[in-house]
Structure formats: structure tokens, C-alpha cells
């Protein structure tokens, strides 16, 4: 049981040390990346919505 706690503590120490090595984005870079992702999601959503609309109209005409 004691070995389990020792290995758990060692795991968290190692994880903390690895996180200190990470190159984190600056606030400005994070905001810019978030804005780009939101814009791309909106563009893809519009494209998928438009494609769905066109295909549903086409199938409606085809099946009626």
C-alpha cells in the first residue's frame, strides 16, 4: 500500500516537472487562435447547413 502512494506521489511530481517544460501560448496567441477556430467552425457550419438544405430540396423534388 505504501508503494502505491509513493508511486502516485512520484507520478504527480514527474507530471509537474514535465508541465514546467511546456511552451505555453501567450494570451494574445491564444485569443488569436480561438478567434480563427471560431470563424472556421462558423464557415463549416454554414457550408454543412447549406449543403443539407440543397440536398433536402433536391431529394424532395426528386421523390415528389
pLDDT tens for 26-57 read 999 999 999 999 999 999 999 999 999 999 99
pLDDT at 8 over 90: yes
Helix or strand or coil: residue 55?
helix
Q: What is the pTM of this model?
A: 0.64
Residues of the chain above pLDDT 70, percent: 100
- Residue 57 to residues 21, 37, 46, 48, 53, Cα–Cα distance (Å): 54, 30, 16, 14, 6
pLDDT for res 3: 87
Amino acid at each position: 500500500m505504501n508503494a502505491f502512494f509513493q508511486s502516485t506521489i512520484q507520478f504527480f511530481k514527474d507530471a509537474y516537472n514535465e508541465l514546467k517544460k511546456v511552451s505555453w501560448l501567450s494570451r494574445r496567441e491564444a485569443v488569436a487562435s480561438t478567434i480563427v477556430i471560431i470563424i472556421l467552425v462558423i464557415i463549416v457550419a454554414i457550408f454543412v447547413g447549406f449543403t443539407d438544405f440543397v440536398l433536402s430540396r433536391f431529394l424532395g423534388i426528386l421523390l415528389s
